Amino acid sequence: MASSKSGSGAMTLERMSVEQLKAVKEQADMEVNLLQDSLNNIGTATTRLELATTALNDLSLRSLGSKILVPLTASLYVPATLQDPHHVLVDIGTGYFVEKTMPEGKDYCERKINLLKSNFDQLVEVASKKKNVADEAGVILQAKLKQLASSS
Amino acid sequence: MSSSNIRDLQRELENKANDLNKLQKDIAKNHQVRKKYTIQLGENELVLKELDLLNEDANVYKLIGPVLVKQDLAEANANVRKRIEYISAELKRLDATVQDLEEKQNSKKETIMKLQQKMQSLQAGKGKA
């Protein structure tokens, strides 16, 4: 269905005036940029979750009472002992936190990463389609401009 | 006579162009607000999904300013649901306004086009005469 749609899209692109083509190209470029931004955001979110997963894995290897340094600020750490290595507090968004056990916490991270990955894949598809439209419009626009230049 | 006519038309055209600009700004603003709400809606839905997955005896905390306050799971659930409802309603309202604004924008564009055509024909007539 998508391919037939893009085919008819090319047909209508051919018939457009230079101004219309310019508008279409601008719009498509804008959308491509927007999608690219979203992709970047998803990428950073995924890395953060992966970091959280490694942190959890690290934490789960420690035993009760082991010495740790807790960051109070970015540059100030205070020594402490680990009191409960089996429970974690997870930020699930909009200010809500949930107490979870270690495996639940890991499961949470994994689920979120999978969700983001599937979103990422979907977005990549949409973005590449949009990029094709933008490129197509660009090519036709160039051809039309050349035609205009040579005929005048 | 025709030159004053053209001047009038020009003034009208300018006014209409200003109106159009204002409309476009409103639409852009509306879009921004809409985007914000859409993001919030998505986040709230994720939270709701997460809350639904929890056991009934799970400990839920709400961040209020710098403090975490313990909250009932049922209460948290109701809160998030209410928020989703509110945001959805707000989104619907924004959709209606944006549609209205876009209709206005299109009619403005049309009147501007007509004005431009009128001016062009007047100027062409003046050029001949």
* Segments forming the whole domain that contains residue A98: 47-141
Which chain B residue is nearest to residue A87, measuring alpha carbons? B59
The alpha carbon of residue B35 is apart from the nearest alpha carbon of chain A, in Å, by 12
Q: What ipTM was estimated for this complex?
A: 0.71
A101 in any annotated domain? yes
Q: Does A93 sit within 8 Å of B43, measured CB to CB?
A: yes
Contact by Cβ (8 Å): A113, A49: yes
Q: Which is more confidently placed, B110 or A13?
A: B110
Which of A98, A112, A113 is the best substitution to test chain B (most B C-beta atoms within 10 A)?
A98
Which chain B residue is nearest to residue A109, measuring alpha carbons? B50
Instruction: Average the pLDDT over A38-52 and give the result.
Output: 96
Percentage with pLDDT > 70 across chain B: 96
Supply the pLDDT for residue A10.
Answer: 59
A5 in any annotated domain? no
Reading phi first (left if > 0) and then psi (alpha if -120 to 50, else beta), residue A64 is in beta
A2 in any annotated domain? no
Spell out the domains of chain B, with CATH numbers in brackets.
Answer: 2-128 (1.10.287.370)
Supply the pLDDT for residue B1.
Answer: 52
Beta bridge partners of B80: none
A77 in any annotated domain? yes
What's the number of domains chain A is made of?
1
A13 in any annotated domain? no
Could you tell me the CATH number of the domain that includes residue A116? 1.10.287.370
A121 in any annotated domain? yes
Which of A96, A118, A119 is the best substitution to test chain B (most B C-beta atoms within 10 A)?
A96
What gap in Å lies between CA A114 and CA A45, rounded to an integer?
12
What gap in Å lies between CA B125 and CA B128, rounded to an integer?
5
B55 touches chain A (CB under 8 A): no
What gap in Å lies between CA B93 and CA B86, rounded to an integer?
11
